[in-house]
Amino acid sequence: MSAVRTLTVLAAIALSASAFAQPAKKKPPAPPPPAPAAEPQDPNADIAYAAFQRGQYLTALNEASKRAQQNDPAAMTLLGELYAQGLGVPRNDQKAADWYKLAASKGDRNAMFALAMFNFEGRVGAKKPDEAAHLLSDAAKLGHPAAEYDLGLLYLQGQQFPQDFKRAAELFESASKAGNPEAQYALATMYKEGRGVAKDESKAMQLMGLASLAGNLDAMVEYAIAEFNGTGVPKNESGAAQLLRKAANRGSAIAQNRLARILMAGRGMSANPAEAIKWHIISKELGASDPELDLFAAKQPADVRDAAQKEAQKWLSTAPPRS
């Protein structure tokens, strides 16, 4: 549900060791992507939902209102989404919550999930984490992947429910099978560490690869590091370098640092001192220091350093938000 954000992950799940024996920062699983406002069996035949997808919010509002009068919970959830985001109508969290509650009472799992996020955030009155957790549980029982993932995080952290790694892994696995990349990444880390499941490096990398292909940034970085080192996957320095470049351009400081080292060493791609220094400058700006790269940069000619600085500033001035 794009009107609401998912839980912030507090559990520390470790990244693997870096390519060149540099300590990798610990990164939590990224929050999952928003769930759709409604799940009609045939979106093309659903006028309200199709209008919403096309950005025709007034049409969506009118059509959903008609369907809501016929006790259609998906339409009620869509109305909640429109009010939650202020699309076609002024934003009104209370009206959004009322529609979500009505749809949830009729068994709509998307409404349960959206209402859970409202309660976690306190968008209508005080925060109600316990109530939110139970709504997540209800949505998860109905197979809502993002709810399963978030509920797994609660069990992982021991919040609202007793800490239970096995239960967290079960929830992550269910969400993973539904294609949730954040759950795939989280479950991969549990297989790597043997927490809640038997330790299995091969299974961990299989899941990490799926999450990486789906665009999970942390998974991309960790899979690239494993691929560079040949840890759990066939060694492929060239493929790893290309994946790190992709992650670096999306704003991962770890990927930027590893890419700078690759460009410095000429492993996986041709050595390029200016590019190496450029990515080193960017990664430092984002918090990844590296004394060895500092020394490498200091030894380069002034024109190389100046060109790198110019390109780094250009990248930083137009950098996309980390996604």
| CB neighbour class for 231 (10 Å; exposed up to 12, middle 13-18, buried from 19) | middle
The per-residue pLDDT for 321 is 67
Q: At what angle do helices 165-177 and 181-193 cross, to 10 degrees?
A: 140
Contact 137, 160 (CB under 8 A): no
The per-residue pLDDT for 319 is 79
Phi, psi of 167 (to 5 degrees): -65, -40
The per-residue pLDDT for 46 is 82
Cα–Cα separations (whole angstroms), residue 207 to 14, 87, 182, 192, 221: 15, 37, 10, 10, 13
Q: At what angle do helices 47-54 and 73-85 cross, to 10 degrees?
A: 20
The per-residue pLDDT for 239 is 97
Q: How far apart are the first and last CA of the chain?
A: 17
What are the tens digits of pLDDT across the range 206-246? 999 999 999 999 999 999 999 999 999 999 999 999 999 99
pTM: 0.81
What are the tens digits of pLDDT across the range 94-126? 999 999 999 999 999 999 999 999 999 999 999
Q: How far apart are alpha carbons 199 and 211 in whole angstroms?
A: 19
Low-confidence ranges of the chain (pLDDT < 50): 1-45
To 10 degrees, the CA torsion angle through 124, 125, 126, 129? Answer: -20
What are the tens digits of pLDDT across the range 167-186? 999 999 999 999 999 999 99
Contact 223, 215 (CB under 8 A): no
Q: How far apart are alpha carbons 195 and 177 in whole angstroms?
A: 19
